[in-house]
A and B are shown apart, each in its own frame.
Chain A
Amino acid sequence: MATGVERRAPGGAIKAPDQSGQKAALRHRLAERGVDRTLLLLVPGLAAMVALFVYPFLYGLSISFQPQEGVSALANYAEFFRDPFLRGTIGKTFWLAVPATIINVAAAIPIAYRMRGRYRGKRFLTIILVVPMTLGTVLVAEGLLSYLGPNGWLNRSLTAVGLIDDPIRLVHNYWGVLISLIITGFPFAFLLILSYISGIDPTLERAAATLGAGPWDRFRRVTMPLLAPGLAITVCLAFVLAFSVFPSAVLVGEPAGETRVLSIVAYRAAFEEFDYSMASTIAMIMAALELGVIALVLGWRSRLYRGSTSGGKG
């Protein structure tokens, strides 16, 4: 790129034939394209990201091809996909992450749609919704163990009402983890969608109403298309949260069976078997799968209208 700029420099050379003039011209040309000393401000942040994120990631990628046992570079990957115990974790992770994402986002849309705009208690509502997000999965797991346990309040209430005779089992299995993912993930999806929906100018909907569109038509043909790009981002972030489920899968799940997710086997390989090569392999497979899903969603998003959500004049 620098050579291209130098080649286009003769215009500057006519005005200032000496060497310093050439230099100034180059700087001027670069500045026209937005490259000037301001960009030096990026350097510390970028350097930190390269050192702490890119380098470890590439290092992990390289040691995943240097297995502790076996000769071929792909031995770890072959082992992962051969061993049904390891291979099965992919399905188990998706079986938790996909329903959790769908439930969280699908429940958040109508609620956020209804609660957009201004009313008394909105701030209070958002504040109590932020609480489970900040509590984190560890605390929610701890609470679920006693609340959903055989002697917990839920089973007690259901028995007292007469809906069930024996306590239903909701912890130490799939359901406990799914519930914990909903408790921590739903408020997140809701707040994100609420802020996207609030950013859509209500006059657009009123204009549609003036033209005779009913409530359902307004939602489907005006709000949804404007919300869709934000929705794609929300789906991505909600999926990331659910996909990396770890503490709750151990504490309220059944880490040896139904909820043996990718992060658990990656952690065990690294810190219980000390096979960093295998652990990195699992981490890389996990990252690849997750980025694949995100790429799919963002690919769908790139086909949508992504302009301003505020009404124009006139």
Chain B
Amino acid sequence: MTTATTRGSGLLSKARPRKRLVGTPGGWLIWGVVIFFFVHLAGVIGSVVVNSFATQWFDTWLPSGFTARWYAEAWAEFDLFDVLFVTLEIALAVVVASVILGVPAAYALARRSFPGKRLVMLLFLLPLLVPPITYGIPLATVLYRFNLAGSLPGVILANMVPSVPFVVLVMTPFIEQIDPNVEAAARMCGAKTSKIFIRVLAPLLVPGILAASVLVLVRTVAMFELTFLTAGPTTETLVVALYYSAFAAGIRAGQSIDAMAVIYMLTTLVLLIIALRFVDPTQLVARVKEQAAE
């Protein structure tokens, strides 16, 4: 049987170089699981979207009528303009701060091996490995002591804890693949360190920095725990505001909560589409050998 299949696939691969995805029972099973997952995912997202447009929806397949008034209501009721503005403000500040702190550190880690490097790497890895809530609670206490809790700088500082290491981890392999000879050549031709940074390194680093920034932006907008623990009433981001309204369900109409959820979903989707223009999610860890895969 083995010989038959090898011979069969050999013939097929001659006829069609592209890999076959369906055909075997295992293949069908896997497609089944994937489709099962997506059907339910569509159900979950669809329920929120349909409910946000519903006039009333109790014991039927679809709501009795459709309206868009919940969006206006949610927009006014939850001060969504302010919330969106705060979210954007926090996310952009976190991106800028993390890039400023993270990229130089990544450069040093990529270019030098020095005693204690493993310890430094561990220090940058730990914040990504422990759950945010475990350091978020002591961090919130510390921020209270410095009167920063609930303020915009406090929330930004808290969100930097996972973002700076994230930038370091994304940028280190990126810088490693830039040939150090380029810098050496520039120096040999008489460029000063500042000039090397502006004229040689910066242009080479821009794609990596863009990718890292966009990923940090998406992560910060979706980061719930740290913002939840440190934010005050005026510094809630969209996801925290959504949690509070979902937690207090019953006070407001479910549709208006769902309208807010849709607004949140659209915000993250826009960011995600921007992110995917810069980053291929499958290439985050290793560079895919598409050529070798035929």
Q: Of A36, A41, A183, which contacts B104 at CB under 8 A? A: A41
Residues on the A chain within 8 Å of B123, using CB: 46, 49-50, 53-54
For the complex with contacts A48-B101, A198-B288, A286-B134, 9 further pairs of A-B residues with Cβ separation under 8 Å are A42-B120, A118-B294, A138-B242, A146-B254, A152-B47, A199-B287, A201-B289, A263-B133, A287-B131
Stretch at the interface among A10-18, A68-76, A78-86, A107-115: A107-115
A82-133 residues with Cβ-Cβ distance < 8 A to B are 107, 110-111, 114-120, 122-123, 126-132
Whether a CB of chain A sits under 8 angstroms from the CB of B281 is yes
B286 part of interface (Cβ distance < 8 Å): yes
The answer on a CB contact under 8 Å between B243 and A247 is: yes
- Tell me whether A196 and B160 are in contact in the complex, defined as CB-CB below 8 angstroms, given that A35-B115, A135-B268, A153-B47 are known contacts: no
With an 8 A cutoff between CB atoms, is A34 at the interface?
yes
Is A224 interfacial (CB 8 A cutoff)?
A: no
* B contact residues around A1 at 8 Å (CB): 115
Given A54-B123, A111-B30; A244-B285 close (CB under 8 Å): no
Q: Is B236 an interface residue (CB 8 A)?
A: no
Q: Is B91 an interface residue (CB 8 A)?
A: no
| Stretch in contact with the other chain, from B32-40, B82-90, B184-192, B205-213 | B32-40
Q: Does B78 contact A (CB under 8 A)?
A: no
Chain A CB within 8 A of B283 CB: yes
The 0/1 profile, CB within 8 Å of B marked 1, for residues 132-174 of chain A is: 1011111111111011000111101000000000000000000
**Chain A contact residues (Cβ within 8 angstroms of B): what range?**
35 or more
A131-B272, A137-B224, A198-B288 given; A286·B102 CB < 8 A: no
Residues on A with C-beta less than 8 A from B61 are 153, 156
CA distance A128 to B284 in the complex (A): 16
B212 to chain A, nearest CB (A): 13
Whole-angstrom distance between the Cβ of B51 and the nearest chain A Cβ: 6
Which residues of A pack against B, CB within 8 Å? 1, 33-36, 38-42, 44-46, 48-50, 52-57, 59-61, 63, 107, 110-111, 114-120, 122-123, 126-132, 134-144, 146-147, 151-154, 156, 183, 186, 191-192, 194-196, 198-199, 201-203, 209, 214-215, 230, 236, 240, 243-244, 246-247, 250-251, 263, 266-267, 270-271, 276, 279-280, 283-284, 286-287, 290-291, 294, 309-310
Q: Does B14 contact A (CB under 8 A)?
A: no
Judge whether A146 and B51 touch: CB under 8 Å.
Answer: yes
Interface string of B254-286 (1 = CB under 8 A from A): 100110010011001101100010001111111
- In the complex, are the beta carbons of A114 and B133 less than 8 A apart? no
Contacts A60-B141, A250-B247, A287-B134 given: A142-B21 contact, CB under 8 Å?
no
CA distance A199 to B283 in the complex (A): 9
Q: Which residue of A38, A60, A143 is within 8 Å of B44 (Cβ)?
A: A143
Please indicate the chain B residues that have their CB under 8 angstroms from the CB of A61 in the complex: 138
CB distance from B42 to the nearest CB of A (A): 10
B72 within 8 Å of A (CB atoms): no
Bound CA span A246–B160, Å: 20
Which residues of B are found within 8 Å of A116, using beta-carbon distances?
293
Complex alpha-carbon distance, A203 and B293, angstroms: 8
Q: Please, which residues of chain A bring their CB within 8 A of the CB of B105? A: 41-42, 44-46
Q: Is the CB of A44 within 8 A of B135?
A: no
Closest 4 CB pairs of A and B: A60-B138, A199-B286, A244-B131, A45-B105
Instruction: Determine if A39 and B243 form an interchain contact, defined as CB atoms under 8 angstroms apart.
Output: no
Chain A, residue nearest B20 (CB): A119
Interface residues of B in 190-243 (CB under 8 A from A): 218, 222, 224-225, 229, 239, 242-243
Contact B276 A283 (CB under 8 A): no
Partner of A118, one of B132, B246, B290: B290
Which one of B111, B224, B285 contacts A136 once the chains associate, using CB atoms below 8 Å?
B224
The answer to whether B285 and A196 have CB atoms under 8 Å apart is yes
Enumerate 19 A-B pairs (CB-CB under 8 Å) in ascending A order. Answer: A45-B101, A59-B138, A60-B135, A111-B34, A115-B21, A130-B281, A139-B265, A142-B261, A151-B58, A154-B40, A198-B289, A201-B292, A202-B289, A244-B132, A244-B133, A247-B243, A283-B134, A290-B134, A294-B129
Contact assessment for A49 and B43 in the assembled complex, using a CB-CB cutoff below 8 Å: no
B2 CB → nearest A CB, Å: 5
Closest beta carbon of chain A to B217's beta carbon, Å: 11
Q: Which residues of A contact B137 (CB under 8 A)?
A: 60, 266-267, 270, 276, 279-280, 283
Q: Does B96 contact A (CB under 8 A)?
A: no
With contacts A119-B18, A146-B47 known, is A52 near B157, CB below 8 A?
Answer: yes
> What's the Cα separation between A267 and B133 when bound, in Å?
8
Does A131 lie within 8 Å of B112, measured CB to CB? no
Q: Cβ of B269: which chain A residues have Cβ within 8 Å of it?
A: 131, 134
Closest chain B CB from A126 CB (angstroms): 5
Question: B161 to A195, Cβ gap below 8 A?
Answer: no
Are B239's CB and A136's CB within 8 A?
yes
Distance in Å: Cβ of A33 to nearest Cβ of chain B: 6
Q: Which of A107, A119, A198 contacts B282 (CB 8 A)?
A: A198
With CB as the reference atom, state the residue of chain A lying closest to B140. A270
Q: How far is the CA of A280 from the CA of B135 in the complex (A)?
A: 9
